[in-house]
């Protein structure tokens, strides 16, 4: 069930149902930021959305929220099309999403993330949310979980075997491949120089553009193909289903 394509009585009925996943919701979360000369700006929110919706297509018991598609990407701001929230805004927005979803009875909020730069802020947002309950000496009536899509069990190993060199850290062939499988009409090609991009630390936007002139870090996106992307999606979908089922079954001590 997709929240955006449901009516409120349908969500209400889902929340009151006996399904093991009734009160669990997946929030695809990512970033709209440059992904090298050929990667889609939406790559980091498209990947978790593609995987979450594929899992929902295979198992209608999974509820998927609208995609949280702007994240913490200040270091990509020297590239046009990038949109970022500062960490404090991003964390506040995550808090409001959680408050909205839990108000109606969702008890397990599962953030399926597509952007490494979001991780620290999402974890900090979770701590801010839990802190309110801890100060109040009350038990939070919900649990939060962050899972990067590439950290779904078995997926990173699968991608590393598929791309033994040139995977890199940004505009990786695995994430580019997933978007190619999801949106084959939007595939872009170019020749890259150097073929494998440099690596280095991530700081501010000027520093980033000077170190990584075309936006990639350590990657060769030319290795991507829609067929490989579909294989990655096919690997991720059952792993997500199993991860959600286990999260939904977690008991509060
Ligand atoms: Zn990315």
> From ligand 1's centre to the CA of 253, what distance in Å?
36
pLDDT for 253 equals 86
Q: Is the dihedral of CA 8, 12, 13, 14 positive or negative?
A: positive
Q: Quick one: pLDDT at residue 143?
A: 98
Give the Å distance between the CA of 118 and the centre of ligand 1.
11
How far, in Å, is the centroid of ligand 1 from the Cα of 33?
Answer: 8
Phi and psi at residue 105, to the nearest 5°: 115, 0
**Ligand 1 centre and the CA of 109: distance in Å?**
22
pLDDT at 188 (0 to 100): 97
CATH number of 3-246: 3.40.50.10310
How far is it, in rounded angstroms, from Cα 61 to Cα 77?
A: 38
- Could you tell me the residue ranges of all domains in the chain? 3-246
Cβ atoms of 64 and 1 closer than 8 Å: yes
Q: For the chain, which residues score pLDDT lower than 70?
A: none
CB-neighbour burial class of residue 206 (10 A; exposed 0-12, middle 13-18, buried 19+): exposed
pLDDT, tens only, 207-252: 999 999 999 999 999 999 999 999 999 999 999 999 999 999 999 8
Q: What is the Cα–Cα distance from 188 to 60, expressed in whole angstroms?
A: 33
The single-letter DSSP state of residue 170 is B
Which pLDDT belongs to residue 252? Answer: 84
pLDDT of residue 176: 98
């Amino acid at each position: 069930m997709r929240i955006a394509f449901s009516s409120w009585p349908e969500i209400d009925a889902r929340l009151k149902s006996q399904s093991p996943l009734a009160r669990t919701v997946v929030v695809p979360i990512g970033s709209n930021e440059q992904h090298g000369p050929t990667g889609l700006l939406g790559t980091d929110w498209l990947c978790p959305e593609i995987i979450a919706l594929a899992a929902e297509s295979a198992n209608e018991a999974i509820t998927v929220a609208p995609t949280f598609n702007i994240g913490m990407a200040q270091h990509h701001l020297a590239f046009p099309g990038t949109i970022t929230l500062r960490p404090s805004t991003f964390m506040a927005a995550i808090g409001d999403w959680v408050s909205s979803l839990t108000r109606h009875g969702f008890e397990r909020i599962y953030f399926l993330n597509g952007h490494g730069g979001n991780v620290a802020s999402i974890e900090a947002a979770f701590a801010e949310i839990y802190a309110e309950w801890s100060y109040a000496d009350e038990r939070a009536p919900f649990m939060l979980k962050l899972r990067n899509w590439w950290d779904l069990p078995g997926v990173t190993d699968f991608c590393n075997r598929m791309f033994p060199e040139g995977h890199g850290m940004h505009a990786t062939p695995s994430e580019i491949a997933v978007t190619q499988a999801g949106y084959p009409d939007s595939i872009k090609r170019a020749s890259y120089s150097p073929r494998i991009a440099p690596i280095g630390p991530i700081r501010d936007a000027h520093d980033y553009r000077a170190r990584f002139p075309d936006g990639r870090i350590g990657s060769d996106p030319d290795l991507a193909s829609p067929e490989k992307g579909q294989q990655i999606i096919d690997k991720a979908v059952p792993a997500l289903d199993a991860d959600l089922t286990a999260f939904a079954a977690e008991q509060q001590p």
